[in-house]
């Protein structure tokens, strides 16, 4: 037992000061110290595009090297992962509704977040595993893409249900404070002083919400026309948003390109590997610098979130990760295919 604790402490101490996390810590300190530094949002978008394509590219290359029987096991594992994330999304909504005072629309949004996965967390974890020389299954980037979808479906189903029960354009239900059936959806983000990046991010969120709201008919002043039902969960627009959103498109596109390229041989992929593999760690460090700045700026939200929601945010990831590991191990035992430790971690 003492050896296990010593190994845990040694791994924790060394991983805590990897370059990846040190860049995150540096970014986290920028707002706290009042450093007048803004990470250009266009560059941040470029980093995100690069990381998604690079993950897909590497995953596609590795998929092309798999034996057919391993590929069949991977497809089954993806189906199990899809179902597990769907269940997690539903559990998250039930916990939020029963333990916090969040609006139902907010609980639905957060449950979609937990029922999905995070490319940012994934690439950070891949960086840590690579630095620690820990192996993981080659098809995990494809798992990332597949397991992104369940949370979106859970959130859309919940939002569609709330609309049918009379939710207003600002996301308030009839029994919630601030309900206004004649409310107009926000189209501009609230001001954040000199923080142009925060304004840009908030504006993009509002534009995305506005786009989602306009899937239904409206009469020009924000009110839904009488007699018109809310948009269906399985409408073409919403399904397009789920399955062809930019993140999934770039990820799947990188997987397909990497797969097809690797089938033609290593000579075809050699030059591209210099960009998508060799530069990955350095680009990820810059990405984590921005992530640290964003996380630090959002600290003020803890005051309005409430301690129960903060507790949920601290406990839920660990509980759901444990659930995911148990499901993965159960699938491994049932199929007789052992999984690498890195695969459990991802």
State the SS3 of 24-73.
HHHHHHHHHHCCCCCCCHHHHHHHHHHHHHHHHHHHHHHHHCCCHHHHHH
Q: Evaluate whether 306 touches 101 at the Cβ level (below 8 Å).
A: yes
72, 109, 186, 289, 295 from 25: Cα distances, Å: 41, 28, 34, 8, 10
| pLDDT at 97 > cutoff 50 | yes
- Torsion-angle region of 133 (φ positive above 0: left; ψ -120 to 50: alpha; else: beta): left
Percent of the residues in the chain that have a pLDDT greater than 90, as a whole number = 27
How far apart are the C-alpha atoms of 326 and 130, rounded to whole Å? 23
Average pLDDT, the chain: 80
pLDDT score for 220 = 39
How far apart are the C-alpha atoms of 258 and 253, rounded to whole Å? 8
pLDDT score for 185 = 62
Q: Evaluate whether 156 touches 162 at the Cβ level (below 8 Å).
A: no
Average pLDDT over residues 98-106: 88
SS3 167: coil
Task: Please state the pTM of the whole predicted model.
Answer: 0.68
Burial-class residue 309 by CB neighbours within 10 Å (0-12, 13-18, 19+).
Answer: buried
pLDDT score for 322 = 94
Task: Dump pLDDT digits (tens) for 64-89.
Answer: 888 887 888 888 999 999 999 999 99
| pLDDT at 113 > cutoff 90 | no
Percent of the residues in the chain that have a pLDDT greater than 70, as a whole number = 83
SS3 333: helix
């Amino acid at each position: 037992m003492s050896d296990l604790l010593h190994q845990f402490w040694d791994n924790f101490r060394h991983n805590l000061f990897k370059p990846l996390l040190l860049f995150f810590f540096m970014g986290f300190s920028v707002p706290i110290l009042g450093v007048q530094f803004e990470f250009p949002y266009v560059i941040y978008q470029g980093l995100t595009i690069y990381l998604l394509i690079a993950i897909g590219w590497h995953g596609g290359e590795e998929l092309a090297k798999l034996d057919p029987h391993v590929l069949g096991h991977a497809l089954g594992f993806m189906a199990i992962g899809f179902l597990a994330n769907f269940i997690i999304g539903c559990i998250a909504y039930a916990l939020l509704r029963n333990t916090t005072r969040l609006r139902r629309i907010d609980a639905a949004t957060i449950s979609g977040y937990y029922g999905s996965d995070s490319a940012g967390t994934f690439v950070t974890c891949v960086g840590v595993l690579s630095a620690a020389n820990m192996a993981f299954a080659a098809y995990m980037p494809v798992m990332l893409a597949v397991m992104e979808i369940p949370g979106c479906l859970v959130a859309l189903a919940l939002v569609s249900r709330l609309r049918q029960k009379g939710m207003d354009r600002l996301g308030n239900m009839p029994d919630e404070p601030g309900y206004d059936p004649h409310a107009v959806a926000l189209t501009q983000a609230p001001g954040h002083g000199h923080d142009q990046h925060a304004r840009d991010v908030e504006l993009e969120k509002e534009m995305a919400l506005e786009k989602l709201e306009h899937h239904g008919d409206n009469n020009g002043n924000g009110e839904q026309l009488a007699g018109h039902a809310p948009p269906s969960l399985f409408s073409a627009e919403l399904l397009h948003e789920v399955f062809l959103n930019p993140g999934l498109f770039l990820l799947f596109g990188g997987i397909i390109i990497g797969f097809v390229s690797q089938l033609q041989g290593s000579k075809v992929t050699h030059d591209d590997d210099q960009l998508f593999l060799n530069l990955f760690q350095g680009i990820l460090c810059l990405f984590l610098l921005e992530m640290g700045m964003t996380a630090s700026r959002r600290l003020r939200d803890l005051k309005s979130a409430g301690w129960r929601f903060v507790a949920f945010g601290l406990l839920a990831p660990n509980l759901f990760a444990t659930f995911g590991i148990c499901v993965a191990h159960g699938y491994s035992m049932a199929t007789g295919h052992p999984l690498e430790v890195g695969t459990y971690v991802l």
